[in-house]
Structure 1
Amino acid sequence: MTALVRAAALTNFPEVAQELGYDPGAALRRAGLRAQLVREPDQLVEADRVARLLEDAASQTGCESFGLRIAARRQLSNFGMVSLLLMHQPTLRQVLLTLIEHLHLLNERLAIQVEDVGSMVVLREELALSEPARQSIELAIGVLYRMCEALLGDRWQPASVSFAHEPPADPAFHRRFFRCRIEFDGGFNGLVCRAADLDVPNPGADPVLAAYARKLIATLPDDRQRSIDQEVRKAIYLMLPAGRATCKSVALGLGMSMRTLQRELDARKLTFKQLLNDVRQELARRYVANSRYSLGEVAALLGYSTHSAFTRWFGAQFGCSPEAWRGSRVDSPTPRTTRAVQSRARKYGNTAIK
């Protein structure tokens, strides 16, 4: 089943494109999208087309912060009917959990996880896309940051933001946008904040309006069945870098027993092992291509405890060693050492944070 996203994902694309001297209408047509979609936010479009559109726009304009510039213009209302439900939740933690509950109405490729790590919380965010989608990731994390800021105001003071991709040549816009420490080449995509911030009462919350919003959302047409393979893939994307992508953990994360998950996958002639392998292949292409990651670090991010086990798996999948695959595609700086990354991983449950 093709994964879809609300056309609201294109909100402000024309304005940012025009500011950079790029023709938004022509760009949309090249991506196979109708130009008027930007005025039809509730229409559903292919998520992969939107991701390619953003990557092409960044490439053509030479603007590595294209996705983040769109996020800078976003408002909470861009979530559509779901926004009314979000703004009336009692705490930011409940806002995030409610957002996760309704992600299938917004973007079927997007996955978010709230993970408590001592006094801190890691907000992991991933897009289950087969191709690298730097701009879409930065847009998604930027929108999440803006949502938290809109709800908490000056009380929103995250500790850091992390991107798994390499830094831009000029990170000035990123520094202006995020009022916190930024880490590129991190072990995950997402934000880190204090747990206490998520539990501060929302003074604008109204339980009556929240209940009304839920009733409105329940009336929305929902003729698309939730795809179990997409849900499992998204869960694996989130859990794999943390070393927790087991069938049991994924089942628990999806609110079902392992037996039920296996039965649903069997009905679609799929196995958990197959989906895990597919996600590993997709992430391996991203991480191995970025030589700022040592191959030992890539092995850890893909859930392998030893470099040799990762090398054997990689050879079976791609027909060559990871060293040879990397050498044939990139010629960039020497990989960093993994000591600092491993130290952060131990501190935050395999979550890399500077």
Structure 2
Amino acid sequence: MTSFTRIKFPTGFWKGLRQLGISPHEVVRKAGLPLTIINEPVVNATQYFLIWQAYSDLIDDTAKGIIKLATGFETVHYPPTVLAAYHARDYRDALTRMARYKQMCPPENLLITEEDEHCTIELKWLYTEQPGPPMLIGITLAFLLELGRRGTGQPLTARSVEFSHSMGDVKLLEDYFGCHIQIGGNCNKLTLYRSDLDSPFVTYNEELLEILAPVLDQSLDEQQRSNPITEMVKWVLKRSLTGGRPDIQTVADELGMGNRTLQRRLTDEGTSFKHLLTQVRHERARKYLADPSLDISEVAFLIGYEDQNSFYRAFRLWEDDTPSNWRTEHLGKTQ
């Protein structure tokens, strides 16, 4: 298991469960995991999701579980990464810090986009093929709004919320978010009113931030340096290929770093973005061609080629053969 798949589960989570009358032992048993996880909170992505699914299974309704934990979790139990957001200067600063420090506890990844009068925060997953449990998705987005409410001391509402999966009592969630909830969308995202981002935080604590921020920034930098950037980039590329060609800026944004920083780190590891893109396309092409249910045109689309001829030319360079011949030969050997 590579280092970036190791997730530090916040100890405050277990304290929060006790506040809600839920036994951490019951959650861990329901997840089928050893009880030692409560005291040794470093888990992998699969275990992380299992814990959240177990909490969901112990609650009557997903929507109830989302609101219960988001509103009932006391600020004294916030981990340092969240405290840095809670004591930020304003809502925009808080969200920026949340997105930055979320990188220290993958697989969650927050992408913030400000456009016109709106601010959209999309939740994506890094380093795992598994989709996140609906409960975790809902709580993550609900807490971003809860953070704004607690920080500003104002009853802020969202402009819209989109979930890809069922979330239980939608009416309950609409009452909480104060907006329409779309279920069955293509992504999971919270859209805020951009004007709210300028709202100052009554919880702003400059002295505390001067202590917390340098330590968190140093930890994040050390973590990023220790992780092989090559594998991280390849992971993002595999998720982003379909129907288009992801550029280095898109990948850098998803990894939470600047374009130049990403280029420099790839150079340090003896590779380049262009080389990794080609490598990932080649690897995925072989994988998809091994699936006889996929047409050649579908394979081309899935690895980011808009036209089949471009795919044929690239594949000839990789394998010195056509996709059709390679597939026939490969499938013949495996049958």
Within the alignment, does 1:36 sit opposite 2:35 as a pair? no
- TM-score when scaled to structure 1? 0.63
- Could you tell me how far apart the structure 2 residues matched to 1:241 and 1:121 are? 26
* Equivalent pair of 1:57/1:66 in contact (CA under 8 Å): no
- Could you tell me how far apart the structure 2 residues matched to 1:168 and 1:209 are? 37
| Partner residue in 1 for 2:113 | 115
For structure 1, which segment, 267-276 or 87-96, has the greater mean C-alpha deviation from structure 2 after superposition? 267-276
The Cα of 1:123 is off from its aligned counterpart by 1.1
The Cα of 1:86 is off from its aligned counterpart by 2.1
| 1:92-171 alignment, distance < 5 Å | 92-105=91-104, 107-128=105-126, 129-133=128-132, 134-165=134-165, 167-168=166-167, 170-171=169-170
| 1:41-52 alignment, distance < 5 Å | 43-52=41-50
The Cα of 1:110 is off from its aligned counterpart by 1.4
Within the alignment, does 1:251 sit opposite 2:248 as a pair? no
The Cα of 1:125 is off from its aligned counterpart by 1.6
| Partner residue in 2 for 1:196 | 195
- The one-letter amino acid paired with 1:271 is L
* Equivalent pair of 2:117/2:193 in contact (CA under 8 Å): yes
- Could you tell me how far apart the structure 1 residues matched to 2:119 and 2:149 are? 16
| Partner residue in 2 for 1:4 | 6
The Cα of 1:273 is off from its aligned counterpart by 5.1
| Partner residue in 2 for 1:71 | 70
- Could you tell me how far apart the structure 2 residues matched to 1:238 and 1:91 are? 33
The Cα of 1:155 is off from its aligned counterpart by 4.8
Question: Structure 1: any 5+ residue segments left out of the alignment?
Answer: 280-298, 310-314, 320-354
| Partner residue in 2 for 1:86 | 85
Give 3-state SS (helix, strand or coil) of 1:132's partner: coil
* Equivalent pair of 2:103/2:220 in contact (CA under 8 Å): no
| Partner residue in 2 for 1:55 | 53
| Partner residue in 2 for 1:327 | none
| 1:181-330 alignment, distance < 5 Å | 181-217=180-216, 224=223, 225-229=226-230, 231-232=232-233, 245-251=246-252, 254-257=257-260, 259-260=263-264, 262-263=266-267, 266=270, 271-272=276-277
Deviations 1:176-230 (A, max 9, x none): 4322221112232121112111122224423233212224546869874244257
- Could you tell me how far apart the structure 1 residues matched to 2:61 and 2:188 are? 20
Would you tell me which structure has more helix in proportion to its own residues? 2
Give 3-state SS (helix, strand or coil) of 2:149's partner: helix
Pick closer, same or farther for the CA change 1:114–1:218 going to 2, 3 Å: closer
- The one-letter amino acid paired with 2:121 is L
- Could you tell me how far apart the structure 1 residues matched to 2:117 and 2:145 are? 19
- The one-letter amino acid paired with 1:208 is E
Pick closer, same or farther for the CA change 1:89–1:233 going to 2, 3 Å: farther
- Could you tell me how far apart the structure 1 residues matched to 2:139 and 2:230 are? 25
The Cα of 1:271 is off from its aligned counterpart by 1.8
- TM-score when scaled to structure 2? 0.66
The Cα of 1:233 is off from its aligned counterpart by 6.6
* Equivalent pair of 1:141/1:190 in contact (CA under 8 Å): yes
- Could you tell me how far apart the structure 2 residues matched to 1:278 and 1:15 are? 48
Deviations 1:57-79 (A, max 9, x none): 54576644476243343344444
Deviations 1:72-124 (A, max 9, x none): 4334444412344223322211111122222233x121111210121111111
* Equivalent pair of 2:163/2:182 in contact (CA under 8 Å): yes
The Cα of 1:304 is off from its aligned counterpart by 8.0
* Equivalent pair of 2:103/2:109 in contact (CA under 8 Å): no
| Partner residue in 2 for 1:23 | 26
- The one-letter amino acid paired with 1:228 is I
Identity rate, percent: 16
Over alpha carbons, which structure has the higher Rg? 2
Pick closer, same or farther for the CA change 1:147–1:277 going to 2, 3 Å: farther
* Equivalent pair of 1:75/1:146 in contact (CA under 8 Å): no
* Equivalent pair of 1:74/1:143 in contact (CA under 8 Å): no
- Could you tell me how far apart the structure 2 residues matched to 1:142 and 1:120 are? 17
Pick closer, same or farther for the CA change 1:173–1:303 going to 2, 3 Å: farther
- Could you tell me how far apart the structure 2 residues matched to 1:119 and 1:221 are? 31
- Could you tell me how far apart the structure 2 residues matched to 1:127 and 1:48 are? 12
The Cα of 1:247 is off from its aligned counterpart by 2.5
- The one-letter amino acid paired with 2:27 is P
- Could you tell me how far apart the structure 2 residues matched to 1:178 and 1:24 are? 27
- Could you tell me how far apart the structure 1 residues matched to 2:153 and 2:33 are? 37
Give 3-state SS (helix, strand or coil) of 1:115's partner: strand
- Could you tell me how far apart the structure 1 residues matched to 2:117 and 2:252 are? 26
Aligned residues between the structures: 287
- Could you tell me how far apart the structure 2 residues matched to 1:76 and 1:278 are? 46
Give 3-state SS (helix, strand or coil) of 1:192's partner: strand
